[in-house]
Structures are given as structure tokens and as C-alpha cells.
Amino acid sequence: MIRPAQFEDLQALIPLTKAEFDECLGGSGFEWREEEIKDSLIEFSMTDDHVLLVARVGEKVVGYLGGVITPWMHNKRQMLAIETGWYVIPEYRGRTVGIRLWRAWEKWVVLHNASLIYCASPQANPTVGFMLVKMGYMPLETYYVKEP
């Protein structure tokens, strides 16, 4: 089942955010901080311009997708939907959980009048990029990181 996150989901989401961080951003110079993750999860689940969706199988949270709607800096009348975190635990990948999360995100985006969806595809998991292309997305840019 895919649904907006509720307060009782927060404890289950914390280790998932850590797993996503380790898989996608570990070694990048970014720092994972549990206390800030808790605040972000609460903000994402309680404000109109943020969404935090969870995928549950029975009582178990097996994935999530977070995103935000914001005006695009080049045309403030155009709203941009930005995916800020998307993760499915490995044993549930390949079972449509990720696609169902993404489709629920797209429905939320339409309801919030965004005209573009912007997301990242981690180098550590190229399957995500292939899936997005199959769903009609086009590669746009590559991110690079380094510590100053």
C-alpha cells in the first residue's frame, strides 16, 4: 500500500533514510544526521508543499519517496516538483514498489499544479535511470560533488 507518511511511520523511516544515504551519498562529503532527519521527515509529512509517501507491505515500511513543489527560478509562474529522496529496501526492489511510489508521486505533483518533475538518479543504482527513461523521463544533467 502507498500512502502519505503518518507519525507512526517515522521510526521505521529513519533507518531507510540512512540506507539511502549510504547507498547513494556515502563518501560524498555529505553528512547524515539523525536528529535533522527526524525534523525533515516531520516537515515533509506536515506541510502543503512537501510530500512524504511510504510503501507498506503488511505492517512493514519497505520504501519511501519525498518531494517538494517550488517555483522554478527561471519562471516563477512555473512550478517545479523536485524529488528529494526515494528508496526501496533491496529485498523489495523489482516488485513494482518503486514504480508504485513514483506513480503516486506523479499524481500528487499533478494535484499541486507542477509543470515539471525534476529528480536525480544515483550512479550507484543505474536501474533507477533506466526505469525513469522507460517512464518517459529524459536525462538532463549530471551532479558532481566535492568538499571545498
Q: What is the per-residue pLDDT for 123?
A: 66
Radius of gyration of the chain measured on its C-alpha atoms: 15
CB 67 within 8 A of CB 50: yes
SS (H, E, C) 38-85: HHHHHHHHHCCCEEEEEEEECCEEEEEEEEEEEEECCEEEEEEEEEEE
Q: Which domains, ranges and CATH numbers included, belong to the chain?
A: 2-134 (3.40.630.30)
Mean pLDDT by 10 residues, the chain (148 residues): 90 87 72 77 79 94 94 90 91 91 95 90 74 87 70
> Is-contact 52 4, C-beta < 8 A?
yes
Amino acid at site 136: G
**pLDDT on residue 99:** 93
What is the distance in angstroms between the CA of the first residue and the CA of the last residue of the chain?
Answer: 42
- pLDDT at position 110 is 95
Cα 85 to Cα 51, 52, 74, 76: the distances in Å are 11, 9, 24, 24
- Residue-level pLDDT at 141: 77
Q: What is the pLDDT of residue 43?
A: 76
In this predicted structure, what is the pLDDT of residue 147?
A: 64
Is the separation of the CB atoms in 48 and 95 below 8 Å? no
